[in-house]
Amino acid sequence: MTILFVLGIIVLVSVSVLTYMNTKDQTSDHDFISESFDRISVLEKIESTVSEASVFRRAYLLSGDEQLVSSFNSAYRQSDSLFINLRFKYNEFPKRLALTDSLKSFVSEFFMNLRDGIELQRSKGNNPKLHKSINDRSKITQIEIKNLAER
């Protein structure tokens, strides 16, 4: 009888330990998945901001409406805050942090190309031949941004 009682206690303790370990693993997995979704969400917002800025630039090219430039500048500021957030989320992952820095440099280059196009339009008008090289550089940079964001 005593042996059965001791075996019962050992089984209960074992089950409790296994349940605790399983719950702990599930919690850590849930946290990791949640953080991954947060990072993906920030990356998608960055891509969306880049696309939005490109639309503002094209709309400005067609209309010359200066309010679109302020929307463009707002998109640029938003991308900066998103990168600060993303760097914070990737702080523990050096390889991902390096990719984030590369992505930030491409996004900065993209916005500089668009800003150069705005300045060119202000000074020389919206002749499509003048803007072709800037538009081509912007498209290439936007493709690089998309590729890096997918990594």
Q: Are 82 and 49 in contact (CB under 8 A)?
A: yes
| In the predicted structure, residue 19 carries a pLDDT above the cut 70 | yes
pLDDT of 131 reads 65
| Number of C-beta neighbours around residue 31 at 10 A | 10
Please state the rounded mean pLDDT for residues 58-65.
Answer: 79
Q: In the chain, what are the helix, strand and coil shares in percent, each to the nearest 5?
A: 90, 0, 10
Mean pLDDT of 108-120: 84
